[in-house]
Chain A
C-alpha cells in the first residue's frame, strides 16, 4: 500500500487497475409491478486508484443506492461488483465483513461515532475490531493531519460537528483501506466547516493517494473531485473530469431537466 501512494497523482487514470468495478448493476426495490422502483438500471463503472470520484445527481437518481452497492452494503439484483479484485456477489457475511475490514472505509453524513468512546477510541475502533495492532506512527500522523491531536480524549458529545467528522475521516483512514466511501460528508455541516472537511478529504487523496468515492448533491463538494459522475433515473448520464462548481451545476441542471 505504501508504494501505491507515490506519485499517484501524476499517473494517467487508465494506467492502474481499477480498485472498484461495477458491471451492468441494476437494483430494484419492492416487488415486480406497479410498486417496483428501479433505483439503478444497469450501471457500469470503474473506480481508479488514488483518485477522488464524486457521484452526483438529483434526489432519487440512485446515487446513494450506487454507493451502497459499490461498498458492499447492499446487493445488486443484476450485475457484478468487485472490490480490490474480489467479486462480492457470492461472498458470505463473514467474508464480506473481512473484506470491509481490509479494503473499505466509511464516512457518514451523520458521523456515526460511538458516543461512549473517546475520539481516539473511535479512530482505533476498526483496528480493534479486526484484532490488529495500531501502527503508532501512522495514527499520530493521521491525527495530526485531521487536526485532532489535542482532542483525542474527548467524547463525540464534546466535539463540534466538524470535529466529529474529522474523527470519522480519521477512523475511515486508519486501516489504510483500498477505497474510502463518503456519503454526503458535508450534508450535516455548515458551509465553512463543510469546506474544511472537503479540504481534508482532498488532502487525504493527494497526500496519501487514498482512493475515495464521495456521494454528494453539493456542487462545491464535487468541485474537489478528480472525476464527477452524474446519475439520473438510475443511469450514469455524464462522466466529467475535474470540474468547477459552475460547470457542475450546469451539468446537474442539464441532467435533472431531462
Chain B
C-alpha cells in the first residue's frame, strides 16, 4: 500500500510540488528566523565574551532598581579599584569607563548604523584586560586624542593623525586619531563604532570624575573566581556589584538576548501564520485529489484494501510531501538568512564574523513543524477517502459520499464561529483577566474563527460569486458567465481555496485598521498638547537630546522659551514607572489639562513636588497631597508629594507616570537624558525662524528641529515603516495561498478536460478559455478578499473597542482596503496564468476522448 501511495504521488508530481510549496515557504520562514536570530545571538555573545576574556572577576555598576546592570546605572567611586587591587588574592585589576559616543564625519553626519560605543583605555595598566587591540598607531593620550575602530577607519578612509568629530554628552568635539583599534578578535561590531579615550579624558567627558563603570580583575595563581568574588563583595558600595567574568558576560548579553528573542518570536509568528495558511492549501488539494481518485480508491477497496489502508495511503502521501517540503524549506530558510545577513552587511550593520549558526534545534523544529502540519491537514481528506465504498469502482461518475458530519455541517460551523467570537470577546473585552489567558483566548479565538468561517463559506460562495462575478458575467461574455458558474460549481472547493487567501487578507486588514486608529488618536493627542512652535527630537541613533544642544537652542536669538523633558525609570508602589524631569516653564510649551491642580503646577514642583498621570492616580488612589516614595536607579529614594494630576489625552503624551522638576531629577539620576525639548520663538513658525534654529543646532548631530506637523509625520512615518514590515511578512502567507489557487485551478482544469474539449469543439477560442479560467481565479480571490476584509474589520473593531481607553479609534482606511482588493485581483490573475495556459493548450480531440 505504501508503494501505491508513493507511486501515486510520483504520478502527480506537479500537484505534489505545488502543494509542497505551501509548506516550503512556511518552514523557510521558521528556519530562516531561527538561523538569523541564532546568528545574531551568537555574534553578540562573542562580543560580551571578548570583553572579559582576560578577566576572572568583574566589578560593575549596579542598578538599584533591579539586579541587572542597565544603562542609567550610576558609576561607583574609583577607590573601589585600589581596594580590590590591594587584596592578596588579586593579581591585577584595572578600571574603565564605558559609555556612548557618536563619531561624526566631516559633513557633520553620524557615522555607523548602530550604537556608538565609548571606552576608556589606561595603558599599560589595563592592556592585559582591555578587549581593544591596537592595530596601528598608539593609545590615545590626553584630552585631544582618540582611537577609533578599524572598520570605521577603513570605511571613512581615516588614518593615524587624521581628525574626527565625536559627540559625547556635549557638542561635537574634534579629536586627533592617535590609534586604530580592533575589538578583540571580532572584525566588526555590527555597525557599532568605537571611540576610545584615555581614562582621565573619558571620566571628564562623561562627567564621571573619580568614578568608574567597570573594574576587571585577574585572580592570583590558584585562586578560584567564585572565591575571589566572595572576597571582593564586602568592599563594594551599594552601586557596585561583583560577578565572575563568565556570569558578567551572560548578564551583559541578557538584554540583547531578550531583544533577539522578541525578534525571533515575532518572525516565527509570521512563519506560523504562513504554515497555518499552508495547511489549508494542503487540506484542500488533498480533498480535491481524493474526490478525483474515487474510482481508484474504490478499486483498491475491491482488491482487498481496508479502510485503514486507504486512510494511511492519503496520510502517507501528505507525510512524504510534508517531509520533503520541510527539508527544502529548511535550506531555503538558510538561504534567506544568509541573504539577509549579506543584506545587513551591505547596509553597514554587518554582524561580527562568527559564521552562520545552523543549530540542531533549527533542523528538528523546522522538519517537525512542517511535517506535522502536513499530517494534520491530511486527516480530514484521508477520513473522507475511507468513506469511498468499493462499489464506486463499478459505477460510472461515482462521487465522494458526503462526510458523516455533513448533515450537521452548518450547525457545527456556525457553532464554531459563535465559540470563536465568544472567545475573542472574552479575550479582548473581559476585565481582570491575566495577559496569558487573554492572549490565549484571542489566539485560539482567531484560529477557530478562520476555521469556522471556512466551514460556513461554502454556503456563502454562491451569493458572493453572484455579486463579485457580476462584472465578469456582464463584460466577459460567455467566458465570463461560465467562469462565474464554474466558481459556484463546487462551493466547498472554491470556499476552501478562497479561505487560504482570506487569512492573509484578514490579518493585513486588521493591521491597517489598527494602524489607522493609532495614527488618528496620536495626531489628536499631538494637536491637543503640542502648542509649542518647534520641537527638538533625538536624531537617528541618538537616544536623547543633549543638554548642550538644548542650551544652544536656548541661546538662539528669537527663542522665547525652551523646555526640555528628561526621561528615566523609577520604582514606586512596587513597580517600575516612567519618570520625567520637567522645566518650570513646561506649561508654556505643552497645553496640558489638569484633573487636579493647574497650569502652575510645573513651575511650583520644587524639590519634593511631583505630578502624576490621571490613570496612575486612579490606580493608586493618589490625590493632591498624597506621598509617593520613588526609588531611582542610583539607589536614591525621593519622598515626593503629589502637586497635580494631569489628564492625559487618549493618544498619549510625552510623560510617564510621575514627573518631577529637572533639579530633583538631576540630583537623583546619573543619566541626564532629554527625550524631547520644545521651544517657542518670536513670530511663531516661519521659514526664517526654522532656518535660524536649524542653523543653531546644526553643530549638534543628536537633535533635529521639527514643527508640529513634522513631528507628527515623522512619528507616523515610523509607524508606517513598521506597518509596511508587517505587510511584507504577511505577504508571505498571501503568497502561500496563491499556490493554493494555482493548485485548485490546475486540478479543476484536469477534471474538466472533457468539458473543455467540448467547449473548444463548439467554438470557444483559446483566448476565451484562458479568460474563463482567469476570471474564475479572480472571482475566487475576490471571495477570499471579501471574507478576509470582513473578518479583519471585525477583529479590528473588537480590539479598538477594547483599547478605546487608550484612545485608539475605529477608523476604516478605505484607500488601503481598495488596494487590498486590487492586490487580490492581481493575485487571482497571477495564479491563473499557468492553469489557463494548460487549459488553452488542450488537444481538442484528445480532450473529448478523455475518460
Contacts and interface: CB of A to CB of B under 8 A. Distances in A.
A110 to B, nearest CB: 8
Contact of B8 (A73, A114, A125): A114
Most chain-A Cβ atoms within 10 A of its Cβ — which of B10, B300, B302, B390? Answer: B302
Contacts of B394: 64, 68, 73, 108-109, 183
A114 B304 contact: no
Interface stretch (A115-123, A199-207, A234-242): A115-123
A230 interface: no
B4 interface: yes
Given A64-B394, A115-B11, A116-B10, A129 B302 contact: no
15 contacts: A74-B391, A93-B307, A94-B307, A97-B306, A100-B303, A100-B390, A108-B394, A109-B394, A114-B299, A114-B300, A116-B7, A121-B3, A125-B4, A128-B3, A129-B306
Given A73-B302, A97-B306, A101-B304, A117 B4 contact: yes
Given A64-B394, A68-B394, A114-B296, A97 B11 contact: no
A94 B311 CA distance: 13
A73 B391 contact: yes
Contacts of A175: 304
A227 interface: no
Interface string B301-332: 11111110100000000000000000000000
B749 to A, nearest CB: 18
B117 interface: no
B295 interface: yes
B305 A129 contact: yes
B135 interface: no
A112 B295 contact: yes
Interface in B374-407: 389-391, 393-394
A11 to B, nearest CB: 29
A108 B302 CA distance: 11
Given A68-B391, A74-B391, A128-B3, A97 B10 contact: no
B395 to A, nearest CB: 9
Contacts of B303: 100, 106, 125-126, 129, 171
B1 interface: yes
B299 A112 contact: yes
The 4 closest A-B pairs by CB, nearest first: A101-B304, A116-B11, A73-B391, A116-B7
Contacts of B296: 112, 114
Nearest to B300: A129
Nearest to B302: A106
Most chain-B Cβ atoms within 10 A of its Cβ — which of A104, A110, A171? Answer: A110
Interface string A158-175: 000000000000010001
Contacts of A108: 299, 393-394
A125 B299 CA distance: 11
Most chain-A Cβ atoms within 10 A of its Cβ — which of B8, B303, B305? Answer: B303
A130 B10 CA distance: 23
Nearest to A121: B3
A116 B8 contact: yes
Interface residues of A, number: 30
Contacts of B11: 115-116
Nearest to A97: B306
A111 to B, nearest CB: 9
Contacts of B393: 73, 106, 108, 112
Given A125-B4, A125-B303, 15 more contacts: A68-B391, A71-B302, A93-B307, A97-B307, A98-B306, A101-B304, A104-B302, A110-B851, A112-B295, A112-B393, A114-B296, A117-B3, A121-B7, A125-B300, A129-B300
A218 B190 CA distance: 84
A100 B391 CA distance: 13
Most chain-A Cβ atoms within 10 A of its Cβ — which of B7, B301, B304, B389? Answer: B304
B153 to A, nearest CB: 65
A175 to B, nearest CB: 8
Nearest to A102: B304
A74 B302 CA distance: 12
A94 B306 contact: yes
Contacts of B7: 114, 116-117, 121
Contacts of A115: 11
A129 B1 contact: yes
A158 to B, nearest CB: 14
A108 B309 CA distance: 22
Interface in A73-121: 73-74, 93-94, 97-98, 100-101, 104, 106, 108-110, 112, 114-117, 121
A129 B310 CA distance: 10
A115 B11 CA distance: 8
A67 B295 CA distance: 18
Contacts of A68: 391, 394
Nearest to A155: B11
Contact of A128 (B1, B295, B390, B851): B1
Given A116-B8, A117-B4, A129 B390 contact: no
B305 A97 contact: yes
Contacts of A171: 303
A129 B309 contact: yes
Nearest to A73: B391
A98 B309 CA distance: 12
Contacts of A98: 304, 306
Contacts of B4: 114, 116-117, 125, 128
Given A108-B299, A114-B299, A121-B3, A126 B304 contact: yes
A64 B396 CA distance: 12
Most chain-B Cβ atoms within 10 A of its Cβ — which of A64, A73, A94? Answer: A73
A73 B299 contact: no
A126 B304 CA distance: 6
Contacts of B306: 93-94, 97-98, 129
Contacts of B305: 97, 129
Most chain-B Cβ atoms within 10 A of its Cβ — which of A94, A97, A100, A106? Answer: A97
A176 B306 CA distance: 19
Given A114-B4, A116-B11, A97 B391 contact: no
Nearest to B7: A116
A121 to B, nearest CB: 7
Given A73-B390, A114-B8, A130 B307 contact: no
Interface string B1-28: 1011001101100000000000000000
B304 A97 contact: yes
Nearest to A131: B1
Most chain-A Cβ atoms within 10 A of its Cβ — which of B7, B307, B389, B394? Answer: B394
Nearest to B295: A112
Nearest to B303: A126
A157 to B, nearest CB: 10
